Amino acid sequence: MKLILLGAPGAGKGTLAKKLIDKYNIPQLSTGDMLRAAVKEGTELGKKAKSFMDSGALVPDQLVIDIIAERLKQKDCKNGFILDGFPRTIAQADALAKIGANDKSAKIDHVISLNVEDEVVVHRLAGRRTCRGCGAIFHVENLKPKVPGKCDSCNGELYQRDDDKEETIRNRLKTFNAQTKPLIEYYSKKNLLVNLDAEQDPDKIFEDAVGKLK
């Protein structure tokens, strides 16, 4: 099962990915993790990526594509994989399609689109509070701590991360809508798209995903 996960920040990609990993025994691959692993292993591609990362520059698309192609050949991908955070643009999707055309083991089976309204995302993320001590996550409405402002586990202080502030969330959504939403139409035309209502309970989302992937 070779999958791509598409969805706005806060759509629940991480939660669904964990359940799919257990169900299908496949790894979740994020571009950030792949880049860091290539750098750590000191591969030729990793060395090239490091020069960009060290200078704070974006790693070029083609180099990212080459690192992904290399990663997909590893043993743990033999049953498939979940690509999370890639592709982000049509150009990246075209490059990924070329990999699949040359190597059937990298050809995408389905693209899961987690659909959620922007205002739901803002409500979900802006209400999150994180423990400074252990990193546990709470929500001002949906997952309240027993003692306001304090973590249930370690009694640490709960705070709002900068990337959970409303202005930042709206900026991230703007970027997603401009760059990534066109991929939904792209994959729909290729009959690879699986649409899921991501405003449901996580267990129901997973149940729907498995039903549509059969």
What's the mean pLDDT in 150-171? 94
Q: Is the pLDDT of residue 58 over 80?
A: no
69-79 pLDDT tens trace:
989 988 999 89
Nearest to 157 by CA among 136, 180, 187: 136
Q: How far apart are CA 65 and CA 101, in angstroms?
A: 14
Which residue's structure tokens are 């880049």? Answer: 35
By C-alpha distance, which of 37, 178, 23, 175 is closest to 112? 23
Q: Name the pTM for this structure.
A: 0.84
Instruction: State residue 51's pLDDT score.
Output: 87
Query: Which parts of 15-109 are beta strand (E)?
Result: 28-30, 81-84
Q: Specify the pLDDT at position 57.
A: 77
Which structural domains are found in the chain, ordered by start?
2-26+79-213 (3.40.50.300)
Given the residues 2, 71, 124, 128, the one annotated as active site: 128
Write down the pLDDT at residue 31: 83
What is the mean predicted confidence (pLDDT) over 102-127?
94
* Catalytic choice (2, 13, 71, 129): 13
Residues 128-151, mean pLDDT to the nearest whole number: 95
Residue 14 has φ and ψ, to the nearest 5°, of -65, -45
Residue 33's SS3 state is: helix
Q: What contacts 207, CB < 8 A, 6 or more positions away?
A: none
Classify residue 150 by its DSSP letter: B
Query: Is 170 annotated in the active site?
Result: no
**What confidence score (pLDDT) does residue 206 get?**
96
- Known catalytic residue at 128: yes
